[in-house]
């Protein structure tokens, strides 16, 4: 099975559920402009300097801090919540209840961008050229 997700293409087919989440966090950390550009056109990843720095190198050659993922960012909100509320570590139930309450107040976007549909619709020819199928195997 060919992994059509841009992250899977960059990482030579390595794209677990957790890995995708960490990639999404990394993408958010690249800034609003990059994030929005990639949501609108996943092939825009080909323009990101940190992605281009990986071209031509097998993932096994990448340093830990070069991987386009940021697992630690997943824990920042929980840590801040714990600190502000005086909760003990790993009080996930209270954290998720508070998160749900906040999310209910958010305005719903008129049109959400579906990255998977955008990838299938437009493809990622520039990203595919930088990271050919099978090159990371």
Structure confidence by residue, pLDDT tens digits, 54-105: 888 888 888 888 888 878 887 887 788 888 888 776 667 777 788 777 767 7
How many Cα atoms are found within 13 Å in the side-chain-facing hemisphere of 8? 14
* Burial annotation 38-70 (CB, 10 A radius, 16+ → b, else e): beebbbbbbebeebeebeeeebeeeeeeebbbb
Structure confidence by residue, pLDDT tens digits, 4-30: 456 555 555 556 677 777 888 888 889
């Amino acid at each position: 099975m060919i992994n059509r997700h841009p992250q899977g293409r960059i990482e030579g087919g390595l794209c677990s559920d957790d890995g995708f989440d960490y990639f999404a966090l990394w993408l958010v950390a690249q800034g609003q402009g990059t994030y929005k550009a990639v949501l609108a056109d996943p092939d825009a990843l080909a323009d990101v300097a940190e992605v281009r720095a990986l071209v031509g190198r097998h993932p096994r050659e990448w340093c830990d801090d070069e991987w386009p993922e940021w697992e630690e960012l997943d824990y920042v909100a929980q840590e801040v919540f714990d600190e502000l509320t005086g909760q003990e570590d790993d009080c996930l139930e209270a954290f998720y209840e508070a998160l749900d309450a906040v999310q209910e107040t958010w305005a719903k976007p008129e049109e959400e961008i579906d990255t998977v549909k955008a990838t299938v619709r437009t493809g990622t020819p520039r990203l595919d050229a930088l990271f050919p199928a099978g090159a990371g195997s």
